[in-house]
Amino acid sequence: MKNIAILGATGSIGLNTLDVIARHPDEYSAFAVSAHSNWKSLNELCKKHMPKYAILVDEEAANNLRKLAPKGVEVLSGENALDDIASHVQTDFVMAAIVGGAGMSSTFSAAMAGKRIMLANKESLVLGGALLMNAANKSGAEIIPVDSEHSAIFQCLQAGKEGLNKIQLTASGGPFLNMPFVSLSKVTPEEACNHPNWKMGQKISVDSATMMNKGLEVIEASFLFNLPATHIEVIVHPQSIVHSCVYYDDGSVLSQMGLPDMRSAISYALSFPGRQLSGVEVLDLTKQPPLEFFPPDMKKYKCLELAYQAIKQGGNAPGTLNAANEVAVDAFLKNKISFLDISKIIEKTLNETPTQNLDTLPSVVENDQLSRQLALSLISKND
């Protein structure tokens, strides 16, 4: 029996993880679940899955949960509690599904404790990729990606890296794939969050619309697979059936396909190196529309171009990119800036932040905070 800590349990990744775990009650136990402040949803999960621990970052929300949590579920609060559970001696696997920079500390705690990390929090690698990979290598921790694209690459690379030429990440193109660039300035947060293929939270849905999610994935892939950005390509594939491809020098191309359902990647991260039933419907290519592939329009998807720029700059640039993006997306969702202003704020933040190397976790956190402050000040000037 493997004890699973699901950090970010009330989000789509967390809920899908609990769904897969529930299908294999003899293999996995929901040891701990967490949320930021959504105590009502977490309480429902506690009643259904009966974890040993429930963590809420918000103290008031934790106090509310303590009054109603099922007997036997211990309620913890604060960010330190996330770190404690991620490194807990009884925790076997950690589902790192907290969105944004908020999930970085607990991911590092799991890495230093030698856990299997099922990584859905791409920001941990974007902000401190070299530090995280070094921590995992030192402790013997396993990092298995849960993003559908990185899971696909990870699966394909089980054939080996000998003769590897490049990897190719597929992108759906988001909800504005067929919208002219001139029309993007008037799109609303509701439209940006209406993804055609995936059911996701607001922030990641907007990232898909700007294609920043793919930019962050390029940075993540660079660290995960130890590849330079020049060997990582992005291609638009609207049907989201081919999740990514691996190219070899002999002309061979390996790809991983499946219906757009995150439970496939989650299940593989849980069962690796084996496989198990995930609840995902079997792909029938005879019932699918024709599969399309074409290069991304970098003018339309400026955020993807900025991500490649951040990799080229190196040092703190990827972390600055991520921090500015989180601030800009939040401002867009609150109708403070337009959709096209997102990339403008990110570009200005990148250009105005001096490049420096980050060799400690506190320096990563400090750069994140300073970048956020700069992005906020730029938004204020934009008003």
Buried-exposed string 127-161: b where 16+ CB fall within 10 A, e elsewhere: bbbebbbebbeeeebbbbbbbbbbbbbbbbeeeee
What is the gyration radius of the CA atoms in the chain, in angstroms?
20
Phi and psi torsions of 76, nearest 5°: -115, 160
142-145, strands of its sheet edge to edge: 74-77, 53-56, 28-35, 2-7, 93-96, 116-119, 142-145
* CA-wise closest residue to 29 among 9, 4, 46: 4
Q: Which residues are annotated as a binding site for Mn(2+)?
A: 147, 149, 217
Q: Which residues are annotated as a binding site for 1-deoxy-D-xylulose 5-phosphate?
A: 122, 148-149, 172, 195, 208, 213-214, 217
Give bridge partners of residue 3 from the DSSP assignment.
29
Kindly write down the DSSP assignment for every residue of 265-279, as one continuous string: HHHHHHHTTS----S
Q: Output the CA–CA distances (angstroms, integers) from residue 162 to 149, 157, 245, 349, in the order listed.
A: 20, 9, 15, 39
Residues in the chain: 383
- Name the amino acid, one letter, at 329: V
Buried-exposed string 307-337: b where 16+ CB fall within 10 A, e elsewhere: bbbbbeeebbbbbbbbbbbbbbbbbbbeeeb
Q: Which residues are annotated as a binding site for NADPH?
A: 10-13, 38, 121, 123, 201
Distance CA 226, CA 241 (A): 25
Distance CA 126, CA 31 (A): 28
Give bridge partners of residue 256 from the DSSP assignment.
244
Q: Which residues are annotated as a binding site?
A: 10-13, 38, 121-123, 147-149, 172, 195, 201, 208, 213-214, 217
Distance CA 112, CA 352 (A): 33
